[in-house]
A and B are shown apart, each in its own frame.
Chain A
Amino acid sequence: MELGSLQDNSQATFSLTDEDHTLANSLRFTLNQDPRVSFCGYSIPHPSDPRVNIRVQTTGDSAREVLKDSCQDLMLMCEHVRSTFDQAILEFKSKDGLKSMKI
């Protein structure tokens, strides 16, 4: 749900349900890394309400597009983490396998 972007789409608050610090903090990180963002932050209005508000203010671009790009960035980073991790585990296992064989 997007709020407060009726007149000016360069700033908006996005209210995400069923999300918490896990996603919001990661998104805040990727948003902050984006040079188009002038301000961003998030808050959880009430601890027993499964909802998080993410505020995005940009230097002119549409806040919605910037947030979408940030999600895309985060996904790419996750994919890279996953492939690097798999590679490292494979390498470790093959090395460990050699060690246990004791040629």
Chain B
Amino acid sequence: MTTESEDSESMEEQRTPKIPVWDLPDLPTGKLPPHLELQRTRVLCTFDAPTHTEKIQSSGAYASMGVDNSMQFEEFRNKFRVEVIRLTEDDLEVDMIGIDASLANAFRRILIAELPTMAIEKVLVANNTSVIQDEVLAHRLGLIPLKVDPRLFDYISENDEPNEKNTIVFKLHVRCERGSARIKVKSDELKWLPKGSEFVLNSEKSTADSTSKTKTYTSFSCSQDSLPEFSNNPIAPKHDDIIIAKLGPGQEIELEAHAVKGMGKVHAKWSPVATTWYRMLPEVVLLQDIEDEKAEELVKKCPVKVFDIEDIGKGRKKATVARPRSCTLCRECIRGDDWDKYVSLRRVKDHFIFTIESTGALPPEELFVEAVKILEDKCMRVISELS
């Protein structure tokens, strides 16, 4: 790249020398000079603030240097890569390489706020003599994640009758007997009622002598457990050990909870993810060889053990970057003295470490696919509106 004499001179700045425009070749080479390429693809984390954080999006930004900054779909197709790091029942960590932050952020926003799930929305309290108030109890019930595929249900609107396609009914009836010890009410006490509500509507009580069955708060035309999708996997809360309330002797809770389909932007209880986030891949570059005591010092400086020491023979030691991925960019290694001349902290602008933590309604890999589909639907909507 650069000769030795140039190197020592440019070391004052960065490893990558700045090239004055009149030193550029007359004919465009189709490549950016290294310092511009660095600014384009990396966020530089200097000790006071990160610089070059903005992605240069405009297609003509480097037109004067003969570099086309527009992204052709073919190029995207060739460059884009997904690498799965970790996949468990509820967690997913993937590396998405070659994607823009705007898209990664769109997926994140959709996962949090626009993917539907089922959650308890209405609570009919028949009896509650516990110390926890009805409204607090109802709120706690709402936040319990339910293990049920929301794609099998419809949204319910204000004037809709609750039926087997849009409502799930749970019953909770616990009593702490007088003279016994206090008990904890846990989420496994929520019993699924596949046939719908068991509470009789008040207005119907007076005409209960009619031949048809009494009217309840829901009007299911068939039992949910007769439907093929639920016959083998009954609907229940995802975890059976969530404490809902505590009852003292003589206290009792009897209620029915109606779960409906909704989205996270209405209330966080409908969010299918505990959270989801991304971060750019940290890149740690040693600008000069760091040896012996200096290397030991560097290894000691880093709280997350990014650096290691390598023996280079004759009893000499050299610092190496062993675990750049665990770097939190705390910038401890470039603090003080001239350390920023030795170490450069960067982030790769198009490499995202994307993590999804599902609450259990759907596995995380399916959540991501659904999120991408929703973004596609949004585009479809705009296209059809413009045509």
Contact = CB atoms under 8 A, between A and B. Distances in A.
Contact of B376 (A28, A33, A64, A78): A78
A27 to B, nearest CB: 8
A35 B373 contact: no
Interface string B97-136: 0011011011001100010000000000000000000000
B379 A78 contact: yes
B372 interface: yes
Interface in A57-103: 64, 67-68, 71-82, 84-89, 91-93, 96
Interface stretch (B82-90, B307-315, B323-331): B82-90
Given A32-B59, A33-B70, A85-B94, A96 B87 contact: yes
Interface residues of B, number: 43
B103 A26 contact: yes
Interface of A: 2, 14, 16, 19-23, 25-29, 32-35, 37, 64, 67-68, 71-82, 84-89, 91-93, 96
State the main secondary structure of chain A at its contact with B.
helix
Nearest to A85: B82
B84 A81 contact: no
Nearest to B63: A35
Contacts of B373: 78, 82
B191 to A, nearest CB: 34
B379 A71 contact: yes
Given A25-B102, A35-B60, 20 more contacts: A19-B378, A22-B105, A22-B106, A23-B378, A33-B69, A33-B71, A34-B70, A35-B59, A35-B70, A72-B379, A73-B73, A78-B375, A80-B76, A81-B82, A82-B373, A85-B94, A88-B83, A88-B84, A89-B365, A92-B84
